[in-house]
Structures are given as structure tokens and as C-alpha cells.
Structure 1
Amino acid sequence: MIDTLAAVGWLFGVVCFGAIVPIVPTGAAVSGAAALAFHQRDPVTMVLVVATGAAGAYAGDLVMYAMCRFGGEQLARRLHWLRDEEHLAAVKDRLKAHQIPVLLVSRLIPGGRVPVLLASAFAGISWRTFVVANLPACALWSVVYASIGLAGGSIFPEPWQGVVAAVLLILVINQAVTWWNKRREAASTAEGSGSS
């Protein structure tokens, strides 16, 4: 039991820290923990992984949102969170039209959470709206990544193999989405310069 509590504490810390410092692969941490939990054959441990992942993501998002609300664009630039102002303007427009769905979906898209958090903070989305919309977003995110880990744990006979498979799958998906987004941006930039 002590080992499980220590692991849950570590998972919470890693996911919370990764939500604030977006270079930490938080999805891979949840998937890896779920793959390990599968081999314990204890449903309570799996529920703890999902709940801890969601709680860590939620706490980290609240800290990041507060930093953006109070520190503004200047702090976001200093921390290198704000890179593409055109993209940020487009996200602000989407948020104005559909606040809750955009907040919900942003957590599931690799690289989508930070621009939406920044746009939400800079557009002045209320704390109440953010707190309410982000809770199911974090829970859904944790369930999705835990499911990937569960699949990895069920396919491979050894726990470490399931963890490695889950982490590699998450990294491949993130890279593929990043590549696809860059390709779309390059195509839209080329299209925009061709029409001018």
C-alpha cells in the first residue's frame, strides 16, 4: 500500500509539474503508470492512476492559468509559452464562439492545451468557466492516456514492455500531430503568400 501511495504521489507531481512546464510528457507518465497498474490486477490501482492523472493535470492547469491571468503576456513570453501570436488570435476567436467545447478538446490535442490556456487567460475567460470546463477535460484526458497504457499493459507479458510501448506510442502520436500541424501551417502560409 505504501508503494502504491508513493507511486500515486510521484505521478501527481510529474503530471502537475508537466502541466506547468509543458516539456514534460505527462500523457506518457499516465500511460506508463496505467500499464504498470494493469499487471497488478487491481482495479482500485487503475482508478487511482486515472484520478491522480486528472488531479495532477487539473492542479497544474489552474497554476498555469493563474500565472497567465496575473502575469499576462509579458510573463508568457518570458517563460517561452507564447510563440505564435497569429495562432493565439485564432484560438481567441474560437474561444469566444465556443468556450466550453474548445476547453474540453484542447487537452486531448497534443500541443493544443497551452495555446488554449493562454488565449483563455488573455481573453479574460472567467475563473468559474475555466474551473468548470477544465475539470471534465482533465478527467477525459487522463482516461484516454490511461486507456493507451492499459492497452500496452494487456498486450505485453512484462510490465516494463507495456510501459515502453505506451510511452513510445504517445511520443509517436505527439510527433505525428506536431508534424501534421506544421505541414498545415506551411501550406496555409504558402497559400496566403500566393494569393497576395
Structure 2
Amino acid sequence: MSLDWSDASAIGYPTLFLGVLIGSVVPIVPTGALVGAAAAVAMTTAHLSLPLVLLLAVLGAGIGDLTTFAVARLGSDAAVRWLARGQKPERLANAQARFERQGWQLVVVGRLIPAGRIPVLLAAGAVAYPWRRLLPATLAACALWAVAYALLGVVSGGIFDSPLIATLLAAVLVLVVTGVVNLVARRRREKAKVSR
């Protein structure tokens, strides 16, 4: 059976899955933009299916996040050193206590906030957060993340009939949302520093 390179789904689905998987382990791929673009294509053409786009995005992100956690958990000495560099020893004890109280929420929020996922997963691995609690939190977080970014693609696909324009708009929307979230997070951190 040969691969038909003229079929957009034969290229689109593997690209989406592998892009999200790789970007979830090594943040070199803009995974949110990839999901938004795939959703925009699904809305404007018959080449991709939106439910399948969501499923592959969740699977790719979930496997990537679990891989990142496993690396931190299995190589926890390196993760602990990374977390502890330039910080007081009480910080790790504080992180462990936070994970015991709010582990589920930390995993979900870490996935949804740009640049929050990897530090949260490294911290979870370093404090030996249990797999049985991490797995459902990761799957829920990845599902929420995939739906959020796919919605940007659905909106852009609903506005424009052209897959190219819808994809570009989805990418721009993802960048704008990411920028706004980063700005809000930075302002909160600055206010927290001032109030101490």
C-alpha cells in the first residue's frame, strides 16, 4: 500500500500528530498554531475531520507530556538540580506540598498557560508525583488545550471559506491569545513581587 501524497489527509494527520508530539517534548514546534491551522482546514475543506484533528492533538500532546514527565521522573536527580539551581532547598519541599494539595490543577493550568507545561511536568517528576494521578490530569489538560486551540481554527474557518486565509487567521489568533496570556501572567508576577 503506497502513500498518496496528493491526499491532504495522508499528510495532514501525521503532520499534526507528530508535530504536536514533538512540540510537547521539545518546544520547537508551535503546537497551538498547528492545532488551530488543522481545525481551520477541517472547517473549510473535506480533507480533514475536526473530531479526528481533536483526537490526534490530544493523543500527541498527552504522549508528549507523559514523555516529558517520565524523563523528569526517571532522571529525577537532574530534574531536581534543574529546579533547585539558584534557589533555596525549601522551594522543592514547597513544590512537593503544592503538588500534594493541587497537583491536578497545576498539571491542567501548566498545559494551558504558554511556557508553563514543561516546568510543571519537571517539578511533578522531581517530586515523584504519582502516575495514577498524573495520567487523568494530563488527559483532561490536553483535551481542554486541544479544544481551546481548535476553537480558534473553527472561528477562522467560519469566517473565511479559503483554507489558506482561515489557516493564517487561526495562526494569528493563536499568537495573539498566547501573547495576551503571557502579558497577563507577567503582570500578575510583577504585582506579586511588589506586594511581598
Say whether the fold is shared (TM-score over 0.5).
yes
Other-structure match for 1:181: 185
Give the Cα separation in 2 of the matches to 1:96 and 1:127.
13
Give the Cα separation in 2 of the matches to 1:85 and 1:148.
38
Consecutive unaligned residues in structure 2, runs of 5 or more: none
Other-structure match for 1:40: 45
Other-structure match for 2:159: 155
Query: Is the CA contact (8 Å cut-off) linking 2:95 and 2:127 kept in structure 1?
Result: no
Percent identity of paired positions between Structure 1 and Structure 2: 35
Other-structure match for 2:139: 135
Give CA-to-partner distance per residue, 1:93-147, whole Å, 9 cap, x none.
4322122233233322222222221221112111122122211221221122111
Give CA-to-partner distance per residue, 1:6-54, whole Å, 9 cap, x none.
2111111110111011242111100001001111247x71111101111
Give the Cα separation in 2 of the matches to 1:109 and 1:91.
18
Which amino acid in the other structure matches residue 189 of structure 2?
E
CA 135–173 in structure 1, closer or farther in 2 if over 3 Å, else same: same
| Aligned residue among 94, 109, 113 for 1:109 | 113
SS at match of 1:98: helix
| Aligned residue among 170, 176, 184 for 1:172 | 176
SS at match of 1:30: helix
Which amino acid in the other structure matches residue 139 of structure 1?
A
SS at match of 2:27: coil
Query: Is the CA contact (8 Å cut-off) linking 2:36 and 2:149 kept in structure 1?
Result: yes
| TM-score (norm. length: structure 2) | 0.83
CA 182–134 in structure 1, closer or farther in 2 if over 3 Å, else same: same
Other-structure match for 2:29: 24
| TM-score (norm. length: structure 1) | 0.83
Q: What is the number of residues matched between the two proteins?
A: 188
| Aligned residue among 12, 16, 39 for 1:7 | 12
CA 70–143 in structure 1, closer or farther in 2 if over 3 Å, else same: same
Query: Is the CA contact (8 Å cut-off) linking 1:91 and 1:116 kept in structure 2?
Result: no
Give the Cα separation in 2 of the matches to 1:51 and 1:123.
30
Query: Is the CA contact (8 Å cut-off) linking 1:32 and 1:167 kept in structure 2?
Result: yes
Matched, 1:120 2:124: yes
CA 75–104 in structure 1, closer or farther in 2 if over 3 Å, else same: closer
Give the Cα separation in 2 of the matches to 1:45 and 1:4.
9
Give the alignment's Cα RMSD to 1 decimal: 2.7
**How do 1:90-109 and structure 2 match up within 5 A?**
92-109=96-113
Moved more, 108-117 or 167-176: 108-117
Give the Cα separation in 1 of the matches to 2:80 and 2:49.
37
